[in-house]
Amino acid sequence: MEDTYVEMFSRQILVESIGIRGQKILRGSRVAVVGAGAIGSSVAELLARVGVGFIRIIDRDIVDLSNIARCHLLDYRDYVEKKPKSLAVAEKLSRINPHVSLDPVIDNIDSRNVVKYLGDVDLVIDGLDNMESKQLLNEAAVMLGKPYIYVGIEGTYGMVIPVIPRTTACLRCVVRDIMESDRGCGVIGTHIVAVSMVSSLAVSIAIKILLGRPIESNIYYIDSSKPEISTLKAMRSPTCPVCSLGKFELLSYLPVTTGLREICGTPGAYIAEPSIIETIDPSEWHYEDLGYVKLYKNDKVSIEIYVFKNHAIVLNRGSKDLKEIFKMNITSRGV
């Protein structure tokens, strides 16, 4: 390792459980962080600061004003510039650690692409909002034999579950009903201290996994208001359809690609196919090419359409009937 790298991580190398050998392993490790919001941005920052050599940051959305107070690395300028979260996070990480290789991905994770994005990494860390998408990550990780860390948060509470395929319980063992496990698609409160606690715990476990240390089959609960961390044993189910029976239901489903689908946690936000722009009258919309995204804006109805390569985000900032405007169905179950 070159002198500048050794000097940068000199204090961490002095930690007995890491040392120079462990630092070399971390530098050669590849991690995918899925979601670049509150949890994902915090996790990505910690991974870069401990010296993980490759970080893929996957997120489908642009920076929202509500992200600023609860998301590490994201700032007001990112919001003003309508920057995709994955790009905003990657730009900040490149300034923190010039030795890390970054792969920001602007895409919506689903059954069509999840294996592609997770196939060449050593570990997957989850920063998503809804349980069905988390279960999709769990299925892909188990099928690929990749360690996966579930991270969830609500208010001052958080939960971390490490999944080591064929060794520990998987997420489906713990949360058995995919569809009933969600609490709907409403906005939930998020405390930045809880975000920091669950992210730190997740990365602490990630370091152990990457260094080849044994991982116990546990569920870690966090209450940042006390503060307190408690542990519950997670039992691997012999009848689990995923890790015991090898049935990957969500991976086999083709995602719904028609109409507008509500995005969990963001009021008035919907995901659609890029072809949604074919339903509008261009003369009524202001067009702006931002390079990484094409923006169509209609101030009359207070609607913005952000068109990426593989998907589009529709923001309804008014109270207009989107079904009437775009002549397409709306799926209320969030993604």
Work out the average pLDDT over 206-223: 97
Same domain, 165 and 311: no
Same domain, 54 and 113: yes
Cα separation, 247 vs 83, in Å, equals 38
Same domain, 181 and 114: yes
Same domain, 132 and 204: yes
**What are the Cα distances from residue 203, in Å, to 226, 261, 300?**
21, 32, 46
pLDDT band for position 37 (cuts 50, 70, 90): very high
Last residue of a domain, one of 231, 252, 273: 252
CB 142 within 8 A of CB 163: yes
CB 140 within 8 A of CB 281: no
Last residue of a domain, one of 207, 229, 252: 252
Same domain, 158 and 244: yes
Q: What is the mean pLDDT of the chain?
A: 91
**What are the Cα distances from residue 127, in Å, to 41, 146, 160, 195, 331?**
8, 16, 11, 11, 23
Domain count across the chain: 2
pLDDT band for position 39 (cuts 50, 70, 90): very high
Cα separation, 87 vs 36, in Å, equals 9
CB 209 within 8 A of CB 167: no
| The predicted structure's pLDDT at residue 327 | 73
Same domain, 147 and 177: yes
| The predicted structure's pLDDT at residue 171 | 97
Same domain, 317 and 280: yes
Same domain, 234 and 318: no
Asked if residue 160 has pLDDT above 90, the reply is: yes
Give me the domain span that covers residue 304: 260-331
Same domain, 269 and 244: no
| The predicted structure's pLDDT at residue 241 | 95
Same domain, 150 and 268: no
Asked if residue 308 has pLDDT above 90, the reply is: yes
| The predicted structure's pLDDT at residue 180 | 46
Same domain, 326 and 231: no
Of the candidates 37, 179, 56, 199, the residue with the CA atom closest to the CA atom of residue 114: 56
CB neighbours of 161 closer than 8 A, spacing ≥ 6? Answer: 149, 150, 169, 171, 174, 218, 219, 220, 234
Reported as a single tens digit per residue, the pLDDT across 107-155 is 999 999 999 999 999 999 999 988 889 999 999 999 999 999 999 999 9
pLDDT band for position 262 (cuts 50, 70, 90): confident
What's the CATH number where 156 sits?
3.40.50.720
Same domain, 8 and 71: yes
Residue 215 dihedral angles phi and psi, to the nearest 5°:
-120, 130
Last residue of a domain, one of 252, 285, 313: 252
